[in-house]
Amino acid sequence: MVSPKLVTSTAVMLLLLCLTGCQGFSLGQKADKAPPPPDFSISVNPGSTQVDRGGSTSLTASVVAQGSFSGAVQLSLFGVPSGVTASLSSSSVNGSGSPTLSIVTSKSATPGTYTLTLSGVSGTLTRNTTFSLTVSNAIAIPDFSLSTSPNAQTIGIGQSASFSVTVSAIDGFSGFVSLTVSGLPVGMQASFNPASINTSGTATLNVSTNNTAVAGTYTLTVAGASGTLSHSSTVGVTLTSKTGSPDFSLSVLPASQTITIGGSAAFTLSVAGSNGFAGTVTLAESGIPAGMAANCSPAAITGSGSCTLNVSTNNSASAGTYVITLTGTSGSLVHKTTVSVTVKAATQPPDFSLSATPGSRSVVVGNSTTFKVSVAALNGFTGSVALSATGQPSGVTASLAPASIATSGSSTLTLTTSNSVAVGTYTLTIAGASGSLAHNTNVSLVVTAAGASMNVMQFPGAIGDPWFKDVPTYLFTNNTVNGATIAIEWAGSDQGPSKGANQYDWTYPDATIQPWISAGKKVNLVVWANADNSNTTCGPEAPYGVDGTGNCAIPAYVWTALGSSNATTCTSQYGTQQMPNYFVSAFQSNYKKFINAVVQHYGNNPNVGYIRFGLGHGGESLPVAGWYDTSTACGQAYVNAWGVTVLTWENYLSTMLNYEGSLNSPVQLMVGITALGIPGVSVPDYEAPIAVQNNIGFGSQGLEASDVNNCSGSTSDWCDLFNQFAGQVPLELQTVGQSCPAGGCATGSLVDLIPFAVANHATVFEIYYEDWLTAYDPNYPGYYPAYQPVLQAAAGK
């Protein structure tokens, strides 16, 4: 038997030996451990997912630092099958992070289960993880989701609150989602800004209460609908008894956005009143860097509401992240909030653009014309662009000066025709090349025969003349007659936008011009924005006008849009007429649309020679005779109410002519420069150069006998202007009225007038049908065969 004393002494000895010899042991301490080496792990959550063909889903890729690891981990994806796109919201994580992994499948993706690998690399460390993707055989149906934030709010009676409503597109959804709210108790109102969302986005639900509201907790249902699709979410609003002083708060959504230099972004800034606040909050922006502009519309909000904060940048902006401070002030109350805008540089490669103006030019055989060719540098382009022109017909030579442009600039393309070139319309291609970069643009060259175009002037109502029945007999087969110039009125075709695709009805003008086309003649159109008669009832030439205005040419919907404040009554040589304010959008925008519609309908018709748009009364270049007489209602409206001067009228003409030029009409466009009324003598000299710049021919509607002996004082200064612009555009003259062979009327005899006009470069004549009958119809009163050689000589026959 072992003695207890021996056991005890032995234990004491062992303990002493351990105290002196056991390494790392101390009383009251544990042995030290070496820290783990720096490392990281990666994972994907969930580890498996399923998506339909054409659908999408998202997962979370996680990087978790271990030990003292703080390095940058570069993430990559491997094993992504064809028809599937996988992308990370961030391909690099510092230390730890959880970027979003987005999976998008095309409808052509092959169904099956695939193993994808997420790899992370940091220096010599590489870690991998796998996850499973199943592409089902089903095809995803576009849909959207709807969510609200926050879930609930508590406000006092008389206060307001704002919730965010977010719509997210699913599987290619691209429709409009209309928002509604239900469950509102008495005394509570709600509105959305905006009320619908296109594809994806966020709206603000503003909830306000008045003193009739009852304290309690209410559940509001926010619904979104797009066609047969609908989704909803709920928010809670708890109303408590009103406490505190009236005040307001500011909030902005989203909190930050990224835009490219030259781009823009929009935020929603909301004002929420509390405790019965009903004041006006004035909004201001500060902290805006150079090259950036920011403004809220509207700039002031009463009570509660929201504005759209538009932030835009120009090319002088610098890349970086900027904080804009938004301040709301109402009396002594001031509150602020901020938004963050990150500006990034554009990444487009250097390039250049090529353009030519005008899009079309007319030239008489044996003459020349020019186009302006412009090169504009894009995205830092600094190369040299070599220019060339091709497609010119035999008998036309082309030259470019200069033949190359460094970086940006313009060149002049000169086209010179010989007497051998065939009459017709030709498309020329202008090309620009710089290394591997190449661009081209097309222009149209219209070559017309020498000799004037001799046209029969046929105004609305002419067919009511008993003698008009002889026109087919003596003029349809007459080779001196090039064609007919026929007036059509705006309200003869424009039914108004409420008719949709049927807004423009061409039945009447098409029927009017068809007999001439059937006879093989060209048809020229004079399009009027104002009638030149005072008939009470609008005839078939203007069925969509308004009876009793004395101005049937303007459609009824335009008169309605103008309203009484933009219409006046004027007395002209045609009687009492209602005239419009030409300077407001209700007139200009609608007339521009009609001009474009006429060009689209008739521009490619080979039977149409030219179209002359009347920018003023009956095609003349000032609104109406006597517009400046402020002793009349007409003058009081034009001068006093609308501020019309010769200068403002010239600016209007410039706007309209430049618009016509921008249409690049395939058919020749014309404009009348006849200045109607006094003062008006400066208008033609201003108008003609602008017309020529846009390849628009011009002319006067007042050719008369007095011009022969007073060329410098001719109507609208046409003599001097024709000499100045001869050969550049068609130059048109219309006799002031029916002529008289004996010379006793204002027009005088065509025997004297026509050769004089030809000698002064007139290339287009519009002669009243009565004068044509005088020349060729032996049954017509005043038959005068001496007119025939004069007309034939002018036509080059």
Looking at residues 656-666, what average pLDDT do you find? Answer: 92
pTM assigned to the model: 0.53
* pLDDT of res. 30: 46
Which of 591, 589, 568 has the alpha carbon at shortest distance from 640? 568
The residues with which 205 forms a beta bridge, in sequence order, are 163, 192
Looking at residues 345-367, what average pLDDT do you find? Answer: 84
Please give the Cα distance from 168 to 177 (Å, whole number): 10
Which of 639, 527, 537 has the alpha carbon at shortest distance from 579? 639
Looking at residues 138-162, what average pLDDT do you find? Answer: 89
3-state SS, 638-674, equals HHHHCCCCHHHHHHHHHHHHHHHHHCCCCCEEEEECC
| Coil, strand or helix at 505 | coil
Contact criterion met (CB below 8 Å) for 333 and 303: no
Q: Which two structure tokens, joined as six digits, stand for 766?
A: 């519009």
- All residues at 6 or more sequence positions from 9 whose CB lies less than 8 Å from its CB, including other chains: none
Contact criterion met (CB below 8 Å) for 274 and 261: no
β-pairing verdict for 216-226 and 229-240: antiparallel
Lowest mean pLDDT among 29-38, 119-128, 546-555: 29-38
* Average confidence score pLDDT of the chain: 89
* pLDDT of res. 733: 95
For the cut 80, the answer to whether the pLDDT of residue 71 exceeds it is yes
pLDDT range class, residue 561, cuts 50, 70, 90: very high
Lowest mean pLDDT among 54-68, 680-694, 735-749: 680-694
Looking at residues 292-297, what average pLDDT do you find? Answer: 93
DSSP letters for 676-738 = PSSS-THHHHHHHHHHHHTT-EEEEEEE-THHHH-GGG-GGGHHHHHHHHTTTS-EEEEESS-
* pLDDT of res. 4: 44
* pLDDT of res. 1: 41
Q: Which two structure tokens, joined as six digits, stand for 228?
A: 């047969």
Looking at residues 53-77, what average pLDDT do you find? Answer: 91
For the cut 90, the answer to whether the pLDDT of residue 672 exceeds it is yes
Query: Quick one: the chain helix, strand, coil %, rounded to 5?
Result: 20, 45, 35
* pLDDT of res. 618: 62
Looking at residues 24-51, what average pLDDT do you find? Answer: 74
For the cut 50, the answer to whether the pLDDT of residue 16 exceeds it is no
* pLDDT of res. 25: 39
Q: Is the peptide bond before 789 cis (omega within 30 degrees of 0)?
A: no
Looking at residues 540-557, what average pLDDT do you find? Answer: 93
- Residues 704-714 pLDDT 10s: 999 998 888 88
**Cβ neighbours around 556 below 10 Å, total:** 18
| Coil, strand or helix at 562 | helix
* pLDDT of res. 174: 87
| Coil, strand or helix at 44 | strand
CA distances in angstroms from 342 to 99, 292, 297, 347, 707, listed in the order given? 20, 11, 22, 15, 68
Which of 281, 287, 286, 251 has the alpha carbon at shortest distance from 267? 251
For the cut 70, the answer to whether the pLDDT of residue 31 exceeds it is no
Please give the Cα distance from 389 to 418 (Å, whole number): 18
Give percent above pLDDT 90 in the chain: 66
Looking at residues 528-553, what average pLDDT do you find? Answer: 87
For the cut 50, the answer to whether the pLDDT of residue 516 exceeds it is yes
For the cut 50, the answer to whether the pLDDT of residue 479 exceeds it is yes
pLDDT range class, residue 203, cuts 50, 70, 90: very high
- Residues 419-465 pLDDT 10s: 888 888 899 999 999 999 999 999 988 887 778 899 999 877 777 88
* pLDDT of res. 29: 45
For the cut 90, the answer to whether the pLDDT of residue 750 exceeds it is yes
**Cβ neighbours around 660 below 10 Å, total:** 24
pLDDT range class, residue 20, cuts 50, 70, 90: very low
- Residues 567-595 pLDDT 10s: 999 987 778 899 999 999 999 999 999 99
Which of 729, 739, 747 has the alpha carbon at shortest distance from 782? 739
Looking at residues 318-346, what average pLDDT do you find? Answer: 91
Higher confidence at residue 14 or residue 67? Answer: 67
pLDDT range class, residue 373, cuts 50, 70, 90: very high
Looking at residues 93-115, what average pLDDT do you find? Answer: 91
pLDDT range class, residue 103, cuts 50, 70, 90: very high
Torsion of CA 416, 370, 527, 746, to 10 degrees: -70
pLDDT range class, residue 531, cuts 50, 70, 90: confident
* pLDDT of res. 3: 46
* pLDDT of res. 410: 94
* pLDDT of res. 619: 67
- All residues at 6 or more sequence positions from 482 whose CB lies less than 8 Å from its CB, including other chains: 453, 454, 455, 521, 522, 609, 795
CA distances in angstroms from 60 to 46, 48, 117, listed in the order given? 7, 11, 14
pLDDT range class, residue 243, cuts 50, 70, 90: low
* pLDDT of res. 331: 92
For the cut 50, the answer to whether the pLDDT of residue 724 exceeds it is yes
Which domains can be identified in the chain, with CATH numbers? 39-139 (2.60.40.10), 144-344 (2.60.40.10), 351-448 (2.60.40.10), 453-794 (3.20.20.80)
Looking at residues 335-353, what average pLDDT do you find? Answer: 89
* pLDDT of res. 36: 82
Contact criterion met (CB below 8 Å) for 174 and 141: no
Q: Which two structure tokens, joined as six digits, stand for 272?
A: 């929420």
* pLDDT of res. 340: 92
For the cut 60, the answer to whether the pLDDT of residue 666 exceeds it is yes
